[in-house]
Amino acid sequence: MTDALFQPIQLGKLTLNNRIVMPPMTRSRASQPDDAANDLMATYYAQRASAGLIVTEGTQISPMGKGYAWTPGIYSEAQIAGWKKVTEAVHAKDGTIFAQLWHVGRVTHPDNIDGEQPISSSAIQAENVKVFVDNGTDEPGFVDVAQPREMTHDDIKLVIEQYRQAALNAIEAGFDGIELHAANGYLINQFIDSESNNRTDEYGGCLENRLRFLDEVVSAMVDAIGADRVGVRLAPLTTLNGTVDSDPINTYTAAAALLNKHKIVYLHIAEVDWDDAPDTPVSFKQGLRDAFDGVLIYAGRYNGEKAQQAISQGLADMIGFGRPFVANPDLPTRIKHGYPLAAHVPETLFGGGEQGLIDYPNYTSQANAEQ
C-alpha cells in the first residue's frame, strides 16, 4: 500500500498532487559556452512532471559557484531564458518545479571558474575530492580540487547578494520556488561543519557562528521572494566532498530550529544512500520534526513501502526518489500500481545528449510495444 504517498499536500500557496519528490541530480547537459538550460533539459523535466515536486539539478549562482563542467547557471540573461523553457514545459504538464541554487565553494578547480582560486569558509583543501573539468585543450576528465582561499567579509557579502539575486532570477524564469543547496560538502556546508571551518571571526568557532552564513543567506532570499517559496537541503550525516562535523546531531537539529525561525516552506534532508550505509537514527528524525514546523522531505534509498512507512509514522511529509527517476519518467505511476522499475545506465548519467536522458520510456508504452 502506498496510499500515503498519493495524498495531496500544501506547500506554501501550492497544492501538490502527491508526496513524491524528484530531488536534484546533476546531469551535466547545459548548453555551452553559456552554461544555459536548453530544450533537451526542458523535455527531461517535463517527462517527470507527475512528481508532486521537482527540484532541479544544482544551478550555480555565479561563475565562481561552478564545480563541474557543463552544469547550468542562473546568473545571466541567457541562463534565465534557458530555464524559462524548462519551467514552461513542466507547467504545461501541471507540474511544480523549484530551482536548486548552488555555490560549490572549494569543491572546484580553476579550469571551471575562469582561472580563479576557489573560495571557502577557510583555506582548507578538501581531501580525496575530484571534480570534472573541460578546459578546452585537454581531454575532459576528473582532477583534484584546488586549494581555496578564506572568504573575506566582502566576499561573504557578495555571495549573499548573489544568492539573493539568483532567487529573484529563478522567479523571473518561472520557477515556483527555490531550494538552497546547503548539503553535500558545498559552500554553505563548508561553513556549518566544524572540521571545514577554522575561522576565528563571527563566522567560525561556536555553532551559532558556523550557522551565521546559512542564516544570512536564507534571510536574504526570504526577503527577496518570500518564505513560502524557499526550501533548504541539508545532509546531516554524510561526509561528502570532505566536510565533517564533530557533533552532527546537535549541529543539524540547531540548523533546523534556525530555519524554522525563517518559516521556510520545506526542509529537505539528504540521507546517506550508499548500500551499506547506516540508517538515520529515528530519534534524530524526531528531533528534526520537533524543531521544524514546515514540510519535511527525506531522500535516500527509499522504495514505495519505506516511503509510505515514513509518512505514516509522521517523520516525513514527502519523499525524494533520486536515481529511480532517471530511468522511470513515470515513477509515480509505477509506484502506485506496483509496476517494475527500469534500471538506469550509469555511463549516460553525466554529459552527452538524449541517450540516457530523455529516451527512457513510460511503462505503458513499453508494455504495449512488447505485445
3-state secondary structure the chain: CCHHHHCCEEECCEEECCCEEECCCCCCCCECCCCECCHHHHHHHHHCCCCCEEEEEEEECCHHHCCCCCCCECCCHHHHHHHHHHHHHHHHCCCCEEEEEECCCCCCCHHHCCCCCCEECCCCCCCCCEEEECCCCCCCEEEECCCCEECCHHHHHHHHHHHHHHHHHHHHCCCCEEEEECCCCCHHHHHHCHHHCCCCCCCCCCHHHHCHHHHHHHHHHHHHHCHHHEEEEECCCCCHHHCCCCCHHHHHHHHHHHHHHCCCCEEEEECCCCCCCCCCCHHHHHHHHHHCCCEEEEECCCCHHHHHHHHHCCCCCEEECCHHHHHCCCHHHHHHHCCCCCCCCHHHCCCCCCCCCCCCCCHHHHHHHHC
186, 203, 266, 363: the active-site residue: 186
Residue 249 lies in a domain: yes
Is residue 79 a contact partner of residue 116, using CB atoms and an 8 Å limit? no
Give the structural domain span for 231: 4-348
Residue 354 lies in a domain: no
CATH at residue 184: 3.20.20.70
Q: Both ends of the chain: CA-CA distance in Å?
A: 28
Kindly give, in sequence order, each residue whose CB lies less than 8 Å from that of residue 368, ignoring residues fewer than 6 positions away: none
How would you write the pLDDT of the chain (371 residues) with one tens digit per residue? 558 999 999 999 999 999 999 999 999 999 999 999 999 999 999 999 999 999 999 999 999 999 999 999 999 999 999 999 999 999 999 999 999 999 999 999 999 999 999 999 999 999 999 999 998 888 889 999 999 999 999 999 999 999 999 999 999 999 999 999 999 999 999 999 999 999 999 999 999 999 999 999 999 999 999 999 999 999 998 878 888 999 999 999 999 999 999 999 999 999 976 666 667 889 999 999 999 999 999 998 898 999 999 999 999 999 999 999 999 999 999 999 999 999 999 999 999 999 999 999 999 755 555 54
Number of domains in the chain: 1
Residue 355 lies in a domain: no
Residue 123 lies in a domain: yes
Residue 356 lies in a domain: no
Give catalytic status of residue 186 as yes or no: yes
